[in-house]
C-alpha cells in the first residue's frame, strides 16, 4: 500500500517480523511456479508491440483449458464411480474457468485490424484451429471428428494422447450411464454405442431426462448433474460466440491462418450441440 507521497509503506512490512527474506537454501515463489520458463515463452516473431498481447492471450487460454481438462477428466471418473457430489464441485469449477477464458476475448479485441496485419504473416499456418487441448475438450464433451487427428501427426507422442482421449467415454456417456443406474429406461444401443462416434440424440435419453426434470426431488443428484452439463455447454457456446465476433472484429471475413473459412467456420460450429436432449426438454416441459 502506498502513502500520500506514493512511497512504500515501510511500517506495514516492518511490523511483519515473520516474513521470510532469506531464500538461499529454500524454494521461492518464482521457482515453484517455474516463472523463468513461463515468462520467457512470449517470443515474438515480428517486432510489433501487439504480438505480445496476441501470444499472452493464447497462452493464458491454453492454461485455462489445461485446468478445464483436468477437472473434466476427474469429473468423468467421479460420475463413473457414482460419486456425483464430487463431480458437481469439479464441473462447477469448469464453468467458472470458462467464464475467465471468455473474458480473454475482451482483452484481445483491444487490438485493431491494422495492428494485427502488421504481424499476421509471421504466424504462417499456425492457428487456434490446431489447439490440441481444445480438441480434447470437444472429445470429452462427446464431439468426435477423426479427420482432425491428422493435424497432430507431426508429434507421435501427442497423437497417442489424443487418440486415447478420442477413444474414451465422454462426459455425456457417463451421465447417460448414471441415468441407467438410477433405473431409467435407456436403449441398449446407446449404452453400448461406439464412443469414437459423435453422440446422436435418442428418444429414450430425452424421456429419461424429462422424468428427472418432472421429479427433481426423487432424482435430485441427476437433476443437479443435468444443470451442471447445461452450464458447461452454455458457457462453451458463449466462448465460441465471443471468439467468432472477435475474429470478425479484427480480420473480417478473411480466411483463417490455418486454412479455415474463418468467421464462416466459427458461425457453423455455433450450431453444434453436445447434450441435445437437455435442451430439447426445455420445450417439452
Question: Is 116 marked as a binding-site residue?
Answer: yes
Alpha carbons 276 and 176: distance in angstroms, whole number: 12
Question: Is 58 marked as a binding-site residue?
Answer: yes
Question: Is 19 marked as a binding-site residue?
Answer: no
Question: Is 54 marked as a binding-site residue?
Answer: yes
- Asked if residue 281 has pLDDT above 90, the reply is yes
Average pLDDT of every residue of the chain = 92
- Asked if residue 5 has pLDDT above 70, the reply is no
Please list the residues that pair with 279 across neighbouring strands.
none
How far separated are the first and last CA of the chain, in Å rounded? 55
Alpha carbons 228 and 90: distance in angstroms, whole number: 10
pLDDT digits (tens, 9 = 90+) for 237-262: 999 999 999 999 998 988 777 777 88
Under 8 Å between Cβ of 107 and 53: yes
Query: What is the model's pLDDT at position 126?
Result: 84
Query: What is the model's pLDDT at position 152?
Result: 93
pLDDT digits (tens, 9 = 90+) for 171-223: 999 999 999 999 999 999 999 999 999 999 999 999 999 999 999 999 999 99
Query: What is the model's pLDDT at position 4?
Result: 54
- Asked if residue 6 has pLDDT above 70, the reply is no
Query: What is the model's pLDDT at position 255?
Result: 75
Amino acid at each position: 500500500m502506498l502513502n500520500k507521497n506514493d512511497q512504500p509503506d515501510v511500517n506495514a512490512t516492518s511490523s511483519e517480523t515473520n516474513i521470510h527474506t532469506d531464500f538461499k537454501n529454500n524454494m521461492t515463489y518464482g521457482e515453484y511456479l517455474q516463472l523463468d520458463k513461463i515468462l520467457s515463452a512470449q517470443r515474438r516473431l515480428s517486432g510489433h508491440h501487439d504480438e505480445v498481447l496476441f501470444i499472452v492471450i493464447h497462452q493464458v487460454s491454453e492454461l485455462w483449458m489445461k485446468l478445464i481438462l483436468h477437472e473434466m477428466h476427474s469429473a468423468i471418473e467421479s460420475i463413473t464411480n457414482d460419486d456425483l457430489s464430487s463431480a458437481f464441485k469439479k464441473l462447477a469449477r469448469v464453468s467458472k474457468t470458462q467464464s475467465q477464458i471468455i473474458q480473454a476475448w475482451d482483452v484481445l479485441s483491444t487490438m485493431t485490424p491494422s495492428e494485427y496485419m502488421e504481424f499476421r504473416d509471421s504466424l504462417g499456418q499456425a492457428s487456434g484451429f490446431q489447439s490440441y487441448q481444445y480438441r480434447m475438450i470437444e472429445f470429452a464433451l462427446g464431439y468426435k471428428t477423426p479427420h482432425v487427428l491428422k493435424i497432430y501427426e507431426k508429434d507421435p507422442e501427442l497423437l497417442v494422447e489424443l487418440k486415447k482421449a478420442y477413444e474414451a467415454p465422454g462426459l455425456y456417456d457417463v451421465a447417460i450411464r448414471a441415468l441407467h443406474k438410477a433405473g431409467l429406461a435407456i436403449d441398449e444401443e446407446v449404452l453400448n454405442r461406439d464412443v469414437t462416434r459423435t453422440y446422436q440424440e435418442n428418444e429414450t435419453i430425452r424421456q429419461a431426462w424429462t422424468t428427472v426434470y418432472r421429479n427433481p426431488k426423487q432424482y435430485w443428484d441427476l437433476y443437479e448433474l443435468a444443470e451442471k452439463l447445461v452450464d458447461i455447454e452454455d458457457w462453451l457456446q458463449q466462448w465460441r460466440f465471443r471468439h467468432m465476433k472477435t475474429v470478425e472484429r479484427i480480420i473480417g471475413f478473411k480466411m483463417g491462418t490455418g486454412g479455415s473459412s474463418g468467421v464462416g467456420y466459427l458461425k457453423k460450429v455455433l450450431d453444434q450441440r453436445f447434450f441435445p436432449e437437455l435442451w430439447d426438454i426445455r420445450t417439452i416441459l
